[in-house]
Amino acid sequence: MVVDIKEYDLDREITWCPGCGNFAILDVLKNSLAGMGLSPHQVLVVAGIGQAGKMGQHFRTNTLHVLHGRLLPVATGASLVHNGLKILAIGGDGDGYAEGGNHLIHAARRNIDVTYMVHNNMIYGLTKGQASPTSEHSIKTPTTPQGNPLEGLNPISMLLGLKAGFVARSFAGDKEQLGAILKKALQKPGFAFIDILQQCPSFNKVNTFRWFKERVYDINEEGHDPSDLEQAFRLAQQWGEKIPTGIFFEDPEPKPGFREAVLGDKDRSITGPELNPLAIKEIMEEHL
Ligand SMILES: Cc1ncc(C[n+]2csc(CCOP(=O)(O)OP(=O)(O)O)c2C)c(N)n1
Ligand SMILES: [Mg+2]
């Protein structure tokens, strides 16, 4: 089925700064969903708190905007209840790797049927530039005025260590690559993780659009086979003059998703296969 991208449009003011990487990511996401023939009612976005978390407010679809760092537990529940919905969890590096870091471990281990996009601008954007877990060593921020004494977390290594079923990195400045990775992630059952490098022109003056652009290269174009976990680990160590992007790992023997593991059948859901938007009316009346 052909879906017009305009179905996803929402007439609402966008408050991201000019030049923010979120604009490109939003554009790619809407294009990918429409391109896959998905209508807005077939998609659920569970968004965290932060500039990245505002994604869900800026296009027309089902959205749950939840507490900081708590998008994965909510997405886990939603994936058991709403069979058939394409579920996207979307948040920032602070949201996902700091406040929500514990949930990420278990979402990957459980292999929840969710595609998780982390907009990694290597800074706390919404709260005006404090250091996040991925902020680089030495970077000066309001919380690290002498320079960050810590090394940045390596999310790709972490997710490979957890043997997540699909582990990728992309860049907001490469819409073609991001679109191709997103479509792959959305098509596969189980947990799909995409770390998206993203410039924050207002609060990260070190890792700028140009900084990323000069360093990123596509590992799959250079012949990396995503079923090769050992090579994926080796590539994940690289960070600096060259930054690898692309699909690091895709499990050649996918494990059952969380729904199948818990409910015994990947097509079963707690509510049954049919979505009935009117049913909520009855529930509301019962409780109001
Ligand atoms: C429990 C809790 N702690 C702290 C905050 C304050 N807070 C809001 S957004 C944010 C960080 C956002 O950074 P990130 O997740 O990287 O998203 P970005 O704005 O960079 O896209 C923080 C610390 C909060 N809302 N709730
Ligand atoms: Mg951030």
Q: Would you kindly state where each structural domain of the chain is located, as residue ranges?
A: 5-287
Q: Residue 167's closest CA among 83, 111, 238?
A: 111
Is the distance from CB of 91 to CB of 97 less than 8 angstroms?
A: no
The predicted structure's pLDDT at residue 281: 80
Task: Determine the distance separating the centroid of ligand 2 and the alpha carbon of 27, expressed in angstroms.
Answer: 19
Q: Report the pLDDT value the prediction gives residue 81, as an integer from 0 to 100.
A: 87
Which is it for the CA torsion 177, 183, 186, 191, positive or negative?
Answer: negative
CA angle 154, 169, 52 (to 5 degrees): 85
| CB 118, CB 93: distance < 8 Å | yes
Taking the centre of ligand 1 as the mean of its atom positions, its distance from the CA of residue 166, in whole angstroms, is 26
Which of 82, 132, 88 has its CA nearest to residue 107?
A: 88
Q: Check residue 282 and give its pLDDT.
A: 80
**Of the candidates 59, 73, 41, 87, which has an alpha carbon nearest to the alpha carbon of residue 276?**
41
Give pLDDT, residue 274: 62
Evaluate whether 34 touches 183 at the Cβ level (below 8 Å). Answer: no
The whole-number pLDDT of residue 248 equals: 98
pTM, entire model: 0.94
C-alpha 78 – ligand 2 centre gap (Å): 25
Q: Which helix (H) or strand (E) holds 91?
A: strand 86-92
Assign domain 5-287 to its CATH superfamily: Thiamin diphosphate (ThDP)-binding fold, Pyr/PP domains (3.40.50.970)
Q: What is the pLDDT of residue 275?
A: 60
**Mutation choice for ligand 1 from 49, 102, 139, 143, CB with most ligand atoms inside 8 A:** 49
Cβ < 6 A, ligand 1 pocket? 49-52, 68, 91-95, 99, 119, 121, 123-127, 132
State which residues of the chain have pLDDT below 50. none
Measured in whole angstroms, how far is the alpha carbon of residue 237 from the centre of its chain? 21
Strand order, beta sheet including 86-92: 62-65, 43-47, 86-92, 115-120, 192-197, 166-171, 243-250, 216-218
CA of 60 to the centre of ligand 2 (A): 23
What is the rounded distance in angstroms from the CA atom of residue 31 to the CA atom of residue 111?
A: 26
